[in-house]
Structure 1
Amino acid sequence: MAKLNQDWVVQPHGAMVEVDDGIWTVAGNIVMPLGKFPRRMTIVALAEGGAVIWSAIPLGEPEMARIEAIGTPRFLIVPNAGHRADVGAWHRRYPEAKIIAPPSAREAVGEAAPVDATDDIIGDPAIRFERIAGTKEDEFALLVDRGGRVTLILNDILSNVRHPEGIGANIMARLFGFGVKRPRTSRPVRRAFVEAGAAVAAQFRCWAALPGLTRIIVSHGDVIDADPAGALEQAASDYD
């Protein structure tokens, strides 16, 4: 597990980008020897005010001001236990925000900050939680509908690291299959998290068939907005 940060430690990141009405994403980096490995946070505005933060990353103050202009963060989603590193810092900054983690991640996430729920307590009709089939450890997925345009927000089950920065990140992305050529489940995730590959493939194909699927946001790599259904079908074929 990564180091748990209680302090607001800002690593390199880009600007918030609005990908649809009320959905923003921020590309950041994990600084590593000889490179930077990409990570990504997503912000979703709620119909009744406030915001949901998916896979929280501490940002610089200009971007935090933009988030607070959207609405005070009301929910912090930790999509799996491996993405708990910065939730403690966010909890210190926004102590009223409710923390949501998958059931099997509750204990690990609780070491960083208290977990308020292990399922959907958001209550926004445009947002749907799912737990990914075929995995040993629970991992959340989120579906957000904006007028029939569906954004699928995933975590580690799919990576799309098309532009790793530095020698170290390039070696890691290529050696471990983090989606340099196309989106796919990385080798470490398959070993550590996948229990039934056929079930994961079926889950990908179910998402690919969603009416209105417009994009996929992943926690590691670029947003997938060119033929997201085709990307899921290809990723599913890796398990066949």
Structure 2
Amino acid sequence: MFSVETYAPLDQAKPVADNVWIFDGPVIGFQYAGLKLPFPTRMTVVRLSDGKLFVHSPIRLTDELKAAVDALGEVAYLIAPNTIHYAGVPDWQKAYPDAKAFCAPGVIKRAKSVGISVEFDAELADTPEAEWADEIEQVLVRGSYLNEAVFFHTKSKTLILTDLIENFEAPKIKSPIWRFMVRLFGTMDPHGSMPRDMRLTFAGYKDGLRKAVQTMIDWNPDYVVLAHGRCYDSRCVDELRRAFSWVLR
């Protein structure tokens, strides 16, 4: 697998805003065109006003990570936000059997197709679930390959994305071949965006994507969390307009 540096330290809570943290995990291999491509992993945790935790895109669970999360509150909601990010959920369900699990449409079918056994309490939609509706907004982006639920923590103005924007940093990529491929995909910092091959799968879904992007812009976030690469902590609306210029024009 091509070599990529992680966002160390791993398995530790990194504050983004009041009651919002990211946890960086290990690099995983994503199968693509016969290659195993390296992706650093990241999950986001939001503590709701009742102390319950909303865990977005759970990464692989370790004792160190579990202790760090438990120190923040009660794990209540496990979120598989799109049809690629779900593999970590089963281990979290074993560790937190009382937590409810939610997934983007298509996750259950995809998981079964690759032999992963996982069950969910409900599928995510365009409107927030009752469990977090007063504190987290959401919008569902649908495509032929990817369905992704996007979340916005209103109090901290934190937008949580998964694969709709990827923003890899060149210094962390040791392989010149992978560095070239990332540039080719259009996902190299500071010009992170949706991978060009993934954009093609939204050819018949641009109106819905455009509407969802406008919703994200109207939320006017102060911080944008990305699952892969450098997040945005300034000029966030400008970054959204730039990253999605291919669909907004």
Q: Specify if TM > 0.5.
A: yes
Letter in 1 for 2:21: W
Partner of 1:6: none
CA distance in 1, matches of 2:198, 2:37: 21
CA distance in 1, matches of 2:206, 2:238: 18
Partner of 1:113: 118
Which has the larger displacement, 162-171 or 87-96?
Answer: 162-171
Match of 1:152 among 153, 159, 165: 159
Deviation at 1:34, TM superposition (A): 9.9
CA distance in 2, matches of 1:237, 1:219: 20
CA distance in 1, matches of 2:191, 2:231: 12
Letter in 2 for 1:64: K
Q: Which string of whole-angstrom CA distances, capped at 9 and with x for unpartnered residues, describes residues 173-207 of structure 1?
A: 22322233323111232134553335423432332
**2:78 maps to 1:70:** no
Percentage of pairs with the same residue: 24
**2:239 maps to 1:234:** no
CA distance in 2, matches of 1:226, 1:77: 26
Taking structure 1 as the reference length, what is the TM-score of the superposition? 0.82
CA distance in 2, matches of 1:34, 1:105: 21
Match of 1:29 among 20, 23, 26: 26
State the secondary structure of the residue aligned to 2:123. coil
Letter in 1 for 2:209: V
Partner of 2:32: none
Partner of 1:173: 182
| 8 Å Cα contact 2:186-2:196 kept in structure 1 | yes
Match of 2:198 among 179, 189, 200: 189
Partner of 1:54: 56
Letter in 2 for 1:179: M
Partner of 1:221: 229
CA distance in 2, matches of 1:107, 1:12: 33
Which has the larger displacement, 60-69 or 167-176?
Answer: 167-176
* Structure 2 residue runs without a partner (length 5+): 1-6, 30-34
Deviation at 1:59, TM superposition (A): 4.4
| 8 Å Cα contact 1:152-1:216 kept in structure 2 | yes
CA distance in 1, matches of 2:84, 2:55: 16
Match of 1:201 among 202, 210, 213: 210
State the secondary structure of the residue aligned to 2:121. coil
CA distance in 2, matches of 1:142, 1:82: 16
| 8 Å Cα contact 2:111-2:117 kept in structure 1 | yes
State the secondary structure of the residue aligned to 1:40. strand
Letter in 2 for 1:224: Y
Q: 1:97 to 1:193 in 2, by over 3 A?
A: farther
Letter in 1 for 2:117: A
Deviation at 1:121, TM superposition (A): 4.5
- The alignment covers a number of residue pairs equal to 226
Letter in 2 for 1:115: F
CA distance in 2, matches of 1:82, 1:121: 25
Taking structure 2 as the reference length, what is the TM-score of the superposition? 0.80
Q: Which string of whole-angstrom CA distances, capped at 9 and with x for unpartnered residues, describes residues 53-103 of structure 1?
A: 101102443332121011121111001121112111111211221110122
State the secondary structure of the residue aligned to 1:160. coil
State the secondary structure of the residue aligned to 1:159. coil
Q: Which string of whole-angstrom CA distances, capped at 9 and with x for unpartnered residues, describes residues 198-238 of structure 1?
A: 54234323322324x20111111111111010001112212
Letter in 1 for 2:173: E
